[in-house]
Amino acid sequence: MSSPLERGELNGFHVVDPDLYDRYRSEVLALTNSYQVDINEFLPDDGTRKRGLSDTEIADQLGLDVRDVTEIRVVAEHDEYPIEEYEASARFKDAAAESYREGGVKNLYKGDPPPTRR
């Protein structure tokens, strides 16, 4: 069994260098569970189904210290969208909920929705 440090799970107070962060931010994030592509368990295990990598796996792949990988990942998770996105999220939810209240799923059709059965 690997040690917490090897797994990158030793949560202490480690601050990643901002230049290192900027350099590897996108690469690290692409390998994590931030963008989940084809992870459904029903997808075939022939390379079609994928998963996010652990911090240790990413560190091995990119040749980085695992604690730096953890910090790059966590900072990037927060950093991916600015605070304005939170306001946009509230407006999105207002609109979506209102649309459903008015017309249900029918309002989601750009073309003509199918006739209601009931």
Partner 1 sequence: MMDELDWVSIKSEILEMARKRGAEVVGVGDPAVLEDAEPGLRPSELLADVKSMIVLGGAAPRAAEWQSPRVEVMETVGTADRMTALGSSLARYIEENYGYYALNVPTATDQDDKAFLDFKAAAIAAGAGGASLAGPVLDPTHGFLYLTVILTTLPLPADGPLKEAVCPAPQCVEMWDEKGTTPCMAVCPIDDGGCLGGEIQEGLVIKRRYDQDRCRDRVYHYWTPGYQAALERALDEPDPRKRKMILYGSFFTRTMWSITYSGVSQGQCFECIRACPVGSDQRALA
Partner 2 sequence: MTAVEGEVDEEAAETQLGDLEVITNAIKQVGIDAGATLVGVAAADAFNEYVPLGHRPEDFLPGAQSVVVSASLGPTNAAWQSPNRRLMEITGYDFRENVASIVIAEHIERTQGHLALHAPALPTSGQQPPLSMMLAAVLAGLGTRSIAANIILNPTYGLMFFAAAITTMRLTPDHQLEENVCPARSCVRMYEMEGKTPCMAVCPADEGGCLDATIEDGTITSSFFDRERCSTRAMNFGIRGHIKQVDILTGIDDANERRELIYSDDFRRNMSSIGRYKESVSQCFECMRVCPVGRYRRKLK
Contacting residues toward partner 2, per CB under 8 A: 1-2, 7-9, 11, 33-43, 45, 51, 53-57, 70, 73-74, 77-78, 80-83, 85-90, 92-94, 96-101, 104-105, 108-111, 114
The DSSP H or E segment spanning 56 is helix 55-62
Angle (CA) 29-52-67 rounded to 5° is: 60
For residue 71, state whether it binds partner 1 (rule: CB under 8 A): yes
Q: How far is the CB of 115 from partner 2 (least distance, A)?
A: 12
For residue 4, state whether it binds partner 1 (rule: CB under 8 A): yes
Q: State the amino acid at position 115 in one-letter form.
A: P
| Angle of helix 18-31 versus helix 66-79 axis, rounded to 10 | 80
Q: How far is the CB of 68 from partner 1 (least distance, A)?
A: 11
Which residues contact residue 5 at a Cβ distance below 8 angstroms, ignoring those fewer than 6 apart? 66, 67
- Binding residues for partner 1 (CB under 8 A): 1, 4, 9, 11-18, 21, 70-71, 74-75, 78-79
